[in-house]
Amino acid sequence: MRFASVRVVTQHIEGLVEFYQKLSGFEAARPADGFAEIQFEGAVLAISSEHLVKLFNAGAATAAANRSAILEFEVEDVDAVFERMNALGTDIVMPATLMPWGNRSLLLRDPDGNLVNLFSRPRR
């Protein structure tokens, strides 16, 4: 088995795609109307319009209703990401902070309220 992707369902696909493109610096692929994928090293973030879920899997997912999953991205420089995203007016939950286990971590919310953790591991 190979882990393929995480899909976030949204009512505002253009805004969410734009947010993750700005966050990552990667361009999204658009294989279908209402659907986008951003290829990261080792994983794909898929973004789907809630309209598509209603067409094919009514009731299976609800946009902007997550309060249990955290999307996590390892980055080189958490402080640089913090400065960039803060300047864009992103909802910062926790500024760049050194965690007890050694990671430097930043928590923010995407436009749908999903929690995003950006972290860097201690240099060795």
Is residue 8's pLDDT more than 80? yes
The residue type found at 81 is V
What are the residue boundaries of the structural domains of the chain, listed by start? Answer: 1-65, 67-124
CATH superfamily of 1-65: 2,3-Dihydroxybiphenyl 1,2-Dioxygenase, domain 1 (3.10.180.10)
Is residue 44's pLDDT more than 80? yes
φ and ψ at 53, to 5 degrees?
A: -65, -45
User: CA 53 to CA 74: how far, in whole Å?
Assistant: 29
pLDDT score for 58: 80
pLDDT bin (cut points 50, 70, 90) of residue 101 is very high
pLDDT bin (cut points 50, 70, 90) of residue 123 is confident
User: CA 78 to CA 104: how far, in whole Å?
Assistant: 7
Q: Per the structure block, which two tokens stand in for 6? A: 């995480």
Spatial contact of 63 and 50, defined as CB atoms under 8 Å apart: yes
The C-alpha R_g of the chain, in whole angstroms, comes to 15
Placement of tokens 């436009």 in the chain? 111
pTM: 0.91
What does CATH list as the number for 67-124? Answer: 3.10.180.10
The residue type found at 71 is L
